[in-house]
Every structure is written in C-alpha cells, then in structure tokens.
Amino acid sequence: MAHLETLPRRRGPPPLQQNRARPDEGGRSTRLTLDQSRSRCLNSERTLILGGGISGLACALRLAGAGRKVTLVEGSDRLGGLGAFFEHEGRTFEKFYHCMLPSDGPLLALLDSLGLTPEIYWKPSTFAYAGAGRIFPLNTPLDLLRFAPLPFADRIRVGLTGLWGRLCSDKGLDDLSTVDWLTRLSGRRAFETFWKPMLEAKFGDRHQDVPALWFWTRFNREKGESKGEVKGYIRGGYKRIIERAAERLRELGVEIRLGESIQSADLDENGSPFVITARGREDAARLLITLPWPGLAQVTGPRLRQAAQVPDWGIDFQGVVNHLLFLKRPLTPHYWLATPESQFPFDGVVETSALTDESDRGTGRHVVYLTKYLHRDDPRFAQPAEEIHRPWFAALQRLFPDLAESDVEAAHTFRAPYVEPVYTRGFLKRRPPEVLVPGKVFLATTAQVYPVVTSWNGSVIQAGRTVDAMLL
C-alpha cells in the first residue's frame, strides 16, 4: 500500500528582472521608463484578481463577461483552491471531498453557463451516526425513534428541534449561541449526548460561542428539495469544472498567471492599489482579493489596512486534515457517517463512492475520506501521514471489524489550514465588507459567506455580491 502526503504549497517562479528606475534616498522612483509608462496606461482599467479558487474564478467570469479587462493571479501551480485535485492511476480525485445539492442554485447556474449541466448526475444520499458501539441511520422520523443512545422522550425533542429549526425565523440567532439555543429546544441531556459531540468535532473548545444562526442555516440548506435527499457530482470530477472555467476565461481574454505568490497588497501615495508578487510590482485600476482571510491579513500593507473599512482583522479559521483511502471494497452505504465520540480521531467517514459512478473512480474502487477539523496550530495538524494512518485506520476497524489492511489500495493525507471561519456570536457585525476601498479594492472570501453554508455554492453567492458592488 502506498502512503503519500500532500501539504499545501505556495510557490512561484524566481523574480523577473524588471526595467525599473532606481529609487532615490526616500524610496521613491526618480523617473519612469517608457516601458513602465506604457504598462501603467495599459493597466489603467484592469481588474487584478488575487486567488484562483472558486471565488476568484466566479468573479473573473462575471467581470470578463461584463466586458472588463481581467488578470487572475494564483500562488499555487493549479487553479481550484479547496477544489484541488490529484491523479491516481489515470484518474483525478479531489483532495477535499465535494458534492452539490439541488438547492445550490447559484453554483448550478454557473455550471450551466459553462455548458456543464448535462455532465452533472444525482444520487440518493443518507446520513448515519456512530454511537454506543453501533451505527444508526438518521434519515427518517422512524430512524430517530430508533436512536438508542437517547431516551425516547429526548428523541422526540431532538426531532421537534429539527422541525422547529426549519420553521422558525432566523431573527436574533446571530447573537444567541448554538449551545443555548439547542439546549433550550432539545433539553440539557439531549444536547450533551447528541448535539454537543458534533459541535466539538467541528469547532473543538471554541464551540461554546458559535452562533445559533450558523446551525440554523444547516437545518435549512436542503429545505424544499424537489429531488429529495440527493447529492450531485460531475463526470470527470471537480477538475472538469476548473478546467472548463479556465477555458472560458481565456476565451474571454482573461490573463491567468499561476505559480506567482502574493507578497503584499497595498495602496500607493495616490491611493491606487498595487501588489507585489513573485514577478515584481503590479499596478491595477481595481484590485479584487479572494485570498483566505488570515493570508490576506498577513500580506495587507499599512496604507490599505488603514483605508480598508474592516471591522475585525482578527477573524480566525479552522483547518482540516483529510485522510483519503482507496479501498477494494465498499465500507458503508451512507455518504456521511458522523463519528463525534472522543474514541474516534476523525469527525466523520465520507464515502464518496455512494455518490460517484465507477467510470469516475475506477472499477471496483471505493473512495473514503476520514476527516478531522483542526486549528492549524494544533500539533495533530502537522502529524506525518504514517502517524495519522495507523491510529485512524485502527479506529475505523473498530467500526468495521471485517476491514483489513489488505483492503486498502492506497492512502493519501491532505491538509488545508484555512477552511472555515471560527464563528462567534455577533459574527454578522465582524463580517468583512465587499468594498474595502470604494472604487478600488474589493473582497470575496469565505470570511464573508456567513450565514450561508461555507461551500462552493456559498462562494459563488459571495462572488456575485462582490461583483455586483463593483459594477454599481
């Protein structure tokens, strides 16, 4: 069995030699060369987009489609962000699992505009909960009534909590903690047994301050689905989406530059935006930033930081570790199996084989993600792949005693330090605005998606908000 480990890397080519004037003793350029003057004229109406994840791609498609001149700069050697993929035996697989919901209207509309709708397919999906040494399906009212870890009365209260969560207004929920809200609705015992382990799995000891609005959006994400409990995937995987988006951008005249790390973003003495990348200085009429919020906070220069109308630069993010197993046998019929008990080193078992065709994953191959949300400063985040595999696989065998090491074709470990904000009560007041500097610097990141669920669909929604602000 092969063990491979991939860490996110930001790399760029060596700095290019620029035809620049020498600075004077005050650090100001004493003259502009003819080439520089021409460059600044050419860039006077250009929008420079930083980041080539789904947010950057969606913004670029909207702006270029509106006739704007766009350059997109990505620090890694591939587009896609958390939709990044890798190759295994002639096929591509996502490093971090993805799926679509029928309610993901903005994302599905974007895919339709790229001509990809005929390539999307849908399959029924189910959820289960591992507790008290058993696996309990939780997809129907009858399933909940059979959920043995809770007394019967608590099962009724949990069911009513879910029903009320779909019916109630979200008013005031941003200022109320999920802990208080769910305890009030389900009771202390049901909260401690059922809800709290899932909150701790997602946010660790920071779960106490997560706003109820965050949880309410999860109750309502799939409300009113005409297709029922189904999830979607696309033939060829998310690589297909990324490549088709890049193809369309080039058709629209967008310049895409990869492997060009962002070193700083700031305003010059006249208040115009510029960026320092691995290639040198870049000036643009408008700057649109889609970098993860902690990364942006690190590269923002003093003038931009002072001018930007940001309520809180200190928004922190959770990271994730995914241990991906290629198996020679199916593991579970459920797409998602929650494993919130402390005996499990991972939060959930995601069998994407339940959603994908063999034509996408290979005949007889089953793809399982073991996932754990961790802060990037947690020592477990940086554990070597082999140190992750041994205890994680042993814990998986406790759930599935007939699973053998010989059933594993290959294992891979992937990590992402910035996946989702650590939400706190009143997060709407901390949420960064779409416009950082009016008419000049704009923002579209996952720190703004709230209260929409953090997903590709949420990022497309946020991209639309930001571009709307730019086109006013």
**Domain presence at residue 167:** yes
**Domain presence at residue 175:** yes
Structural contact between residues 322 and 369, judged by C-beta atoms closer than 8 angstroms: yes
* CA nearest neighbour of 266 among 109, 441, 148, 390: 441
pLDDT score of 45: 85
Tokens linked to 18: 């620029």
Share of the chain above pLDDT 90, in %: 84
Upper half-sphere CA count for residue 151 (Cβ side, 13 Å): 9
Please give the Cα distance from 37 to 33 (Å, whole number).
6
pLDDT score of 44: 56
Q: Which domain holds residue 164?
A: 143-220
**Domain presence at residue 163:** yes
Tokens linked to 281: 């200085």
Please give the Cα distance from 24 to 31 (Å, whole number).
10
Which of 16-30, 255-269, 307-321, 398-412 comes out lowest in average pLDDT? 16-30
Residue keyed to tokens 């860039």: 43
The yes-or-no verdict on residue 35 having pLDDT over 80 is no
**Domain presence at residue 194:** yes
Confidence of residue 43 (pLDDT cuts 50, 70, 90): low
The yes-or-no verdict on residue 38 having pLDDT over 50 is no
Share of the chain above pLDDT 70, in %: 89
**Domain presence at residue 341:** no
∠ at Cα 333 (332, 338), nearest 5°? 60
Please give the Cα distance from 51 to 28 (Å, whole number).
29
User: How many other CB atoms are there within 10 angstroms of residue 406's CB atom?
Assistant: 9
pLDDT score of 202: 85
Q: Which amino acid is at 312?
A: D
**Domain presence at residue 29:** no
**Domain tally, the chain:** 1
Identify the three-state secondary structure at position 119: helix
Calculate the average pLDDT of the chain. 89
**Domain presence at residue 411:** no
**Domain presence at residue 196:** yes
> Residue 84, class by beta-carbon neighbours within 10 Å (0-12 exposed, 13-18 middle, 19+ buried)?
buried
As a whole number, mean pLDDT of residues 284-308 equals 95
Confidence of residue 2 (pLDDT cuts 50, 70, 90): very low
- List, for residues 67-117, the tens digit of each pLDDT value: 999 999 999 999 999 999 999 999 999 999 999 999 999 999 999 999 999
Tokens linked to 340: 């919130």
Structural contact between residues 293 and 45, judged by C-beta atoms closer than 8 angstroms: no
pTM of the model: 0.88
Element (H, E) at 34: helix 34-42
The yes-or-no verdict on residue 9 having pLDDT over 50 is no
Structural contact between residues 315 and 430, judged by C-beta atoms closer than 8 angstroms: yes
- List, for residues 222-237, the tens digit of each pLDDT value: 554 444 589 999 999 9
The yes-or-no verdict on residue 467 having pLDDT over 50 is yes
The DSSP result for 356-373, as a single string, is S-HHHH-TT-EEEEEEEE
pLDDT score of 219: 79
More confident residue, 12 or 403: 403
pLDDT score of 247: 98
The phi-psi region of residue 17 (left if phi > 0; otherwise alpha if psi is between -120 and 50; otherwise beta) is beta
Confidence of residue 4 (pLDDT cuts 50, 70, 90): very low
Confidence of residue 10 (pLDDT cuts 50, 70, 90): very low
Please give the Cα distance from 398 to 402 (Å, whole number).
9
pLDDT score of 42: 41
Structural contact between residues 454 and 419, judged by C-beta atoms closer than 8 angstroms: yes
Q: At what angle do helices 178-186 and 212-220 cross, to 10 degrees?
A: 60
> Residue 263, class by beta-carbon neighbours within 10 Å (0-12 exposed, 13-18 middle, 19+ buried)?
middle
